[in-house]
Structures are given as structure tokens and as C-alpha cells.
Amino acid sequence: MRILQVSDLHGNVRAAERTARVAEEGGYDLVFVVGDITNFGTVQEAASILQKVSGGGVPVYFVAGNCDPPALLNYETGSERVVNVSGRQYRYADYDLFGVGGSGETPSRATWIEFTEDELRGLLRKFRSIPGRGTVLISHSPPHDVKCDEVGGRHIGSKAVREFVESHPELLLVSCGHVHEARSIDRLGNALIVNAGPAKDGYCASITIDDREIRAELKRLFP
């Protein structure tokens, strides 16, 4: 399974269209859009961006970010090609995909979808692991205290997400975003943690899962 991961598009149409092209030309199986699809935009704007991302024909799985409208958490796209995994669980091939949207509480509490750590724990408890399958978590917020959540020497990721990772040894991948400055690949327990960086600035990541072997590379959508 080959995944093209993007996050933090923040309404950038060029990045959305380029994602579709890269996914199609690169032979990817899935695109993960890991939140902040808009920059405090509408559900209709998010739907338009997602439609552009899916324009190359590659299925798109997405979660809402903290800068997206709250209604996007429960938005039904009506398309099998664009799937909302915020708070939901899907099977793809031999893998369970589970998503959690929004972010933890920001210092200013000024963004649109923010949760306390206890609320995030409640969302994550919806996941039910199935023996024999690998698990992938698509989370706008990175886990706490990894390379992918560090800004200015501080770790601002979610402790609830970290606890989830540590308690699920079958977890192969955490696709995350949110922290623009922390573009990186790290490992926590058995899971690879990937923050592709903000797609609005041309960043993405390429991920390959072959059975239980996983590798990732940070790449660019455009210079």
C-alpha cells in the first residue's frame, strides 16, 4: 500500500490540485489529508478542496483540523472516493484506518476544533482493534514528545494520542500534521510517526506499507 500524505492545505488550491497530480502520476493507492483543509473556511470550501485532491482518481481519506469548521467532523461526502475518517474506523485491504480530527487546546483557544486531553481520549476509545490487522491512525495532532510535535524547544502534541500509540502495539503508522515547524519522521513504539509539513508550502510525504514493513520519505509537491 502506497500513501501520499498531505496536511495543512489551509485552502491552497494549487497544493490541492498538485496533490491530485502527484498521487495519480506516482501510482499511489491512497491520499491522506490530515486536517486543516481550510483556513477557517466553510464546509463547502473544504468539500471543494477535497474534490480537487481527489481529481486524479486516487481515493482520499481525511480528518478535520483545528482550523476547519466543526461541522466537517461529521460531514458526509456522499462519495466513496472521498472518505471522512474523523472519529470513524474503516478497513482498507488488511489494515484498519482510524481517524481523530481537531487538535488539543491551543494557548489562545482561538481555533475552531479544540479538545481537552480527556475528550481526545474519549474519541480514541472508539477504536476497536481486530487481531491480525495492522492499524493506521490519521490524527491532525501528533503524539506528545516526538520530533513531529516540537516547536521552539517545546513539545505541543497530544498526550492522549501518545498513550493510544503506546497501548496499541499493532499500530504501524501515525499520519499527523498541525505543527508546521516540525516536519519530520520519528518512531514511537512500533509505529512510524510522520508529519509531512504544511502542504500549502509544497510539502508532502510518501509512505509505503508492505505487510508489516513500513518506510516513509519527506517529499515536495512543488518547489
What would the pLDDT profile of 35-52 be if each residue is shown by its tens digit? Answer: 999 999 999 999 999 999
The 10 Å Cβ neighbour count of residue 109 is 7
So what's the pLDDT on residue 77?
96
Q: What domains are defined for the chain?
A: 2-220 (3.60.21.10)
Q: Which pairs with CB-CB distance under 8 Å and at least 24 residues apart come from 106-111?
A: 106/66, 111/40, 111/66, 111/67
User: What are the per-10-residue average pLDDT scores of the chain (223 residues)?
Assistant: 98 98 98 98 98 98 98 96 97 95 94 98 94 94 98 97 96 98 97 98 98 94 94
pTM, entire model: 0.98
So what's the pLDDT on residue 212?
81
**Residues 124 and 84: beta-carbon distance below 8 Å:** no
